[in-house]
Structure 1
Amino acid sequence: MDEDGLPIVGSGIDLTKVPAIQQKRTVAFLNQFVVHTVQFLNRFSTVCEEKLSALSLRIQQIETTLNILDAKNNIHEKGLQKMEVVTENIRTVAKDPRYARYLKMVQVGVPVMAIRNKMISEGLNPDLLETPDAPVPTWGDDGNAEESSDSESSFSD
């Protein structure tokens, strides 16, 4: 015996003299173990299914939101494409043949005052030299007829 008065179990015990555990008790212990294990596994399974269901619902919500954002993005891109088409169709000062030759003169180094005077004499706006990306004013048509008449008049002088 130890100091508390409990028997010491060890190799000195003859197990043939120890009575066997009752079979009913052994079955009861096993049944209790199986029942508690099954209850634990059932609760665990239920909790896992609930969490998976909640996660699945959240994923569906995210997919729905993503589809909505994708649709909005497509609409926005189509709007931008339309705006780009509109801006590509706008004729800028640099693309207009009436103004392009004067812009070229500026690049070559012709005095700006001389260019401005020539533009005024031909009925063009000299202020547009400073804004080559601005849209061409919409007075008149293409300017091709005007340009040809201007060139004819300059040859007749």
Structure 2
Amino acid sequence: MDATAAITGNVDKTQIPPLNQKRILAFVNHFLVSTCTFLNEFALGCETKFVEMERQLQKTEAALIILEAKLASIPTEHHVATEATEAPAISNQQRNEEASMVDTTEPPTTENPTEPELPPESVGVRACEDQRYRKFFKMVQVGVPAPAVKQKMQSEGLEPRILDTPDLILADGQRE
């Protein structure tokens, strides 16, 4: 039998010796074992990565919960402004009392510094002071990206466009 005849296909197939069945069986077994080993290792690697990603997701979720708790504990601008106006008012009252003790000849002034002038009440509440939206404005203030905050607002059923206009008066606003 000629080697070139096997390539060209001009071979009498009755003259070709039969394949050794044990050798074919060994090749098939080797292929199956190596393929199964590869697939098992691949599945193990994927599972390991999934477990790792799940741990990272849990850590991120825990950090988010902590951040939300910290945001909830931060006083709002309204509370800080109120405290800041109360402190000077008290010190002004003490100064007026000291001045009236020193100068008994002068009549006391008629203005009362402890009563700050309140602006006329509007119909609603500013969006940044609204109880529902306050935490979202805090998140933006702390540095959370606005698109992420808007997505969270939308997931909680609130209007995300309000984040762009913090001074918008909400007729159905809720104060603490």
> TM-score, length-normalised on structure 1?
0.49
Higher helix share: 1
Larger RCO: Structure 1 or Structure 2 (Cα < 8 Å, ≥ 6 residues apart)? 2
> TM-score, length-normalised on structure 2?
0.44
**Bigger-Rg structure (1/2):** 1
